Structure 1
Amino acid sequence: MTPTSSSPQLDLAPGARADGRWTPRLVLLLIALAWPTQLLAAGGILGANAMAGVAQTFHTTQVAWFGLTLTLVSTLLTPFVIKLGDLYGKRRVMLAMTALGALGEALAALAGSFWLVLAGRAVAGFYGPFGALSFAAVRDVFPPRLVKSASGIMGSSVGLVALVSPFLAGWLVDTWGYRGALWFLAAATAVAFALVALLVPETPRHAFDSGFDWLGGVVLGGGLTAVVYATGQGQSWGWSDARTLGWLGAGVVALVVFLFVERSSAHPILDLRVLRRRPVALALTAGGLAQTVAFTMPGLAILLALYPHIPGVSAGLGWTAQHNAVVSVSWNLVMFGTGLLVSRYLRFFDTRKVWCAGLVVMAVGYTLVGFFHGDELELILTSCVANLGAGVVVAGAPALVVGVVSRDEQGLGSGMLNMLISLFGAIVTAGAYAALAADSTVVDGTAFYHDTGYSWVFWLGALVTVAALLLSLFIPPLKETAEDEDGRAEAEAPQPA
């Protein structure tokens, strides 16, 4: 039996779980989990807009580390966060993560040198794995009948973030410079801390053994970080450069060593027996690939929009950031609206069929974007098709994970999905830049990209989506949550006369 907590907040949970209807308390609880989760996506957009100001303020050619530092720290810490959440409860770990995230962004905003900015971003990276806990927490604190819809709404709200963030980023950076974006992130993360502290009850512990596999966590996190780092630097170093191959080799060796470390550990940081189950492996890999496309492709499309249009030299559209934000409202609304609709009705349909249909639409959409992206009308029409599928993907992925793992394994499943998205995201981004570089013109040290390169970026997204679809076809029927099964068993049991 799972031990109960003496926390008054946790004692409220059973009453909220009784009937499975949306109540004001559950709506507030969803906001408290969705705000900090989607703040990660907003932070990526704000950070991308702040990079130019950072580079010009500190006169550095290493500005890529502004974003890479946060990504590397987040990747390194993810396995520890998963285990700590199971050991001590997700709410406690979330509070620590949001507090460090707010502190790190504030330090970066106050920094007087580039290296201090990076130090602040490294501290802010402690907040990066928040999504590994928030989606798992949904299953712990929401009524069983609302788990799929709540998870879907949290995932699809990334469309709303993508809709608002470009306008917000432009206003902050244009008015207050890069420090304005960092101060906003610090304040918004502090709000996230308050929401979690006031509205989220403590979750049950899913691991009761106090042992902790520090060696396994370091080896796994270090291996993933090395691979992400090598992939991120491969374009600038060269893929055959000794540094790129060295970091890739070190990462692969560390991941192989991790398998042996976990087998001999009395307190493994990840239960590899769970990951050896075919449904889990297929769902996590397909979910990671598909969400990577849904999250990565819109960011890469910004290159097409903002790069100049110079016949024979650059095939960019030459838009301003403000014009791009206005045009992108269309497909971001499609993504958000589709995600909300799917979230509401997902529990009435076979999740696998809805998921696969979304993948088909997203693959077709990005294939069309690759062919037709020459002006506003073409980009709006084709991107809306792609984001129609992306809305299904971001809403359906959490439900896919819920359907292949038990309640006690939810933290592990969500954490592994987040790690795969980071890993696949680095690889897909590197592949996209390689496609762009293969068809480019360098003028005064700056690379300008031709149309074929942009086309292959979108076709790469379509190909990765097709790979996710092929894997998804082999996922067996998904089970309902344990709580749902228990509820049905009670309902079907003979009642006394």
Structure 2
Amino acid sequence: MSTSHGRTRSGGDSDLAGRGPMLLAMVLAVLGYQINATMLSPALPDVIERLGTTTAAAGLSQTLFFLMAAIGQVTLARLSDQRGRKPMMLVCAVVLIVGNVLCVLAPNIEVFIAGRILQGVSAAMFTLAFLTLNQTLSPAGFGKAAGVVTAVNGGLAGVDAIAGGQIADTIGFRGIFVCSTLIAVAGLLGVRRYVPDVPPTTTDTRFDSRGIAALALGLTGILVGLAQGAAWGWTSPLTLGFLLGGLAALVFFVLSQKTAANPVIDLDVLASRRAWPLLITTICTLGGAFGAIAMTIPLFSQDARVGLGLSAVAAAVLFLTPIQLIGVVSAPLTGRLGPRLGWRTVVVAGAVSNLVIFVFATVFLHNEWILVASLAALGFTYGGFMLTGLNGLAVTTAPKDKPGSLSGLNGACFGIGASLGIALASAMITGGSDAGGVTEAGYQHAMYAALALLAVGVVTAFLIQRPDPAQEAADGDSEQGRPLVLTHH
């Protein structure tokens, strides 16, 4: 018997009523993953010291973490179309817990990197949460709930960044992963009990394992080559092997998608102006903003030689906490505005604002208080407008017969952008080092690379196709009217 599900209208002002436990379970599930990024940023110098490793190796661990986030997003999102959202969310939670345990017990950088890879895969929890919310709530309810979940994308209102710095200054980075494990276990239990079983959206159970393997190899080759190029030498056989091998794998991946029975990426969707400009905007936004926030600024602010010479706690309080704390407020607000103003409008406004703010941050990098104010402003433009807007636009404009396609791709681009940003920042910082350590030029070049990516993101944001007016009108009616409830036949 085939199962179809449509949407019917029912009365009421908001279909979020009674959904508190479900939303809380999703928040805990995504937070378990997210604090591995936000809490660890101020602890990177501690990781380097305790594991006896280098800036390049620590940067590689971050690059692979976000790279696996990309691969996990696109893979598990498509699998959830076939197997259901909730089973894949439970898989994500278990993989995250295993990765955390490896990082807690890691005796060296190699085991640490293995744990980070597993943690990265669990990033798919974000996309799975958005897809579930979109299938169970009205456009208005989805906007509000998406804003709440997106607020977690910057961490726990800045508390986690301060806690990460405090843990790094006292017991060391391993304590961060103990905290993540406790939250991940709570999220696992909450998802199992409170998240509804949303039926699969397709009966096609074929899976393009060849395409996934080629995509993984291609992205890994290019991003590892970029991250390690400065350390290995840009013309060394190892660097060229990774870069050229990765490029060849990506070419094979694109060609394989044309003949695959159930491709990972729908090339027709990808070729549309509702898709490729959005995806490039996501990559460039994350590459520019997150690369600086998670790598360049934490290292610069704690560098006693050419930076600001702050402690891990002070760096977290000044440069990480404001953007996260403001993001917690601005992301839900953006979620309410998105259906009314249009998600594309939100994305364009955020992209332009981010670029302007980063110009100030780059020019006044050594002015502590201007840098603090600039990063705090990113709480609105990056933590609110861009992160919520990009997710909302991807979910609401996806093909109705393949709802996981565009959101899965966009989720993957979050990981690709973050890993690209970390790789470029790491390469610029490493390349700008001398016998005494990182130079001022190294940090400046990393900020210039971030600016270049954000500028490209502004251009592609304007290229995103405007939504169909009829669809916008329908969403507006749903916003003003009654929630949508799933029915099954």
Same fold (TM over 0.5): yes
- Partner residue, 2:457: 468
Secondary structure of 2:129's aligned partner: helix
- From 377, 382, 385, the counterpart of 1:385: 377
- From 446, 450, 454, the counterpart of 2:443: 454
- Partner residue, 1:10: none
- From 283, 294, 302, the counterpart of 2:298: 302
RCO higher in structure (CA 8 A, sep ≥6)? 2
- Partner residue, 1:186: 181
- Shift in alpha-carbon separation, 1:352–1:371, aligned structure 2, 3 A: same
Structure 1 contact 162–332 (Cα < 8 Å) conserved? yes
Aligned AA (1:370): T
The CA distance in 2 between the partners of 1:438 and 1:53, in whole Å, is 21
- Shift in alpha-carbon separation, 1:414–1:455, aligned structure 2, 3 A: same
Structure 2 contact 34–155 (Cα < 8 Å) conserved? no
The CA distance in 2 between the partners of 1:462 and 1:440, in whole Å, is 21
TM-score of the superposition, structure 1-length normalised?
0.85
TM-score of the superposition, structure 2-length normalised?
0.86
Query: Residue 91 of structure 1: CA displacement?
Result: 0.7
Query: Residue 399 of structure 1: CA displacement?
Result: 1.7
Structure 1 contact 72–229 (Cα < 8 Å) conserved? no
The CA distance in 2 between the partners of 1:69 and 1:306, in whole Å, is 23
The CA distance in 2 between the partners of 1:110 and 1:332, in whole Å, is 29
- Partner residue, 1:366: 358
The CA distance in 2 between the partners of 1:203 and 1:368, in whole Å, is 46
- Partner residue, 2:252: 257
Aligned AA (1:346): G
Higher Cα radius of gyration: 1
- Partner residue, 1:209: 204
Q: Give percent identity, aligned residues only.
A: 23
The CA distance in 2 between the partners of 1:54 and 1:455, in whole Å, is 23
Query: Residue 243 of structure 1: CA displacement?
Result: 1.2
Matches within 5 A, 1:335-354: 335-354=327-346
Structure 2 contact 63–223 (Cα < 8 Å) conserved? no
- From 311, 320, 327, the counterpart of 1:320: 311
Query: Residue 104 of structure 1: CA displacement?
Result: 2.7
The CA distance in 2 between the partners of 1:178 and 1:377, in whole Å, is 27
1:108 counterpart = 2:134: no
Q: Which runs of 5+ in 1 are unaligned?
A: 6-12, 492-497
- From 466, 474, 478, the counterpart of 1:477: 466
- Partner residue, 1:494: none
Q: Which runs of 5+ in 2 are unaligned?
A: 483-489
The CA distance in 2 between the partners of 1:103 and 1:434, in whole Å, is 30
Number of residue pairs matched by the alignment: 474
Structure 2 contact 73–412 (Cα < 8 Å) conserved? yes
- Partner residue, 1:9: none
The CA distance in 2 between the partners of 1:65 and 1:457, in whole Å, is 16
Structure 1 contact 291–393 (Cα < 8 Å) conserved? no
Matches within 5 A, 1:423-438: 423-436=416-429
- Shift in alpha-carbon separation, 1:287–1:178, aligned structure 2, 3 A: closer
Structure 2 contact 151–328 (Cα < 8 Å) conserved? yes
Structure 2 contact 38–154 (Cα < 8 Å) conserved? no
Query: Residue 269 of structure 1: CA displacement?
Result: 2.7
User: CA-to-partner distance for each residue in 1:274-318, whole Å, 9 max, x for gaps?
Assistant: 21222111222213322333433222211221111x4xxx2x011
The CA distance in 2 between the partners of 1:360 and 1:92, in whole Å, is 39
- Shift in alpha-carbon separation, 1:133–1:226, aligned structure 2, 3 A: farther
The CA distance in 1 between the partners of 2:265 and 2:430, in whole Å, is 38
Structure 1 contact 42–162 (Cα < 8 Å) conserved? no
- Partner residue, 2:368: 376
Query: Residue 66 of structure 1: CA displacement?
Result: 4.5
Aligned AA (1:349): L
- Shift in alpha-carbon separation, 1:486–1:85, aligned structure 2, 3 A: farther
- Shift in alpha-carbon separation, 1:66–1:221, aligned structure 2, 3 A: closer
Matches within 5 A, 1:62-461: 62=57, 66-111=61-106, 115-161=110-156, 163-299=158-294, 300-308=296-304, 310=305, 314=306, 316-328=307-319, 329-390=321-382, 391-436=384-429, 439-443=432-436, 447-450=437-440, 452-461=441-450
Query: Residue 368 of structure 1: CA displacement?
Result: 0.9
Query: Residue 67 of structure 1: CA displacement?
Result: 3.9
The CA distance in 1 between the partners of 2:234 and 2:44, in whole Å, is 25
Query: Residue 415 of structure 1: CA displacement?
Result: 1.8
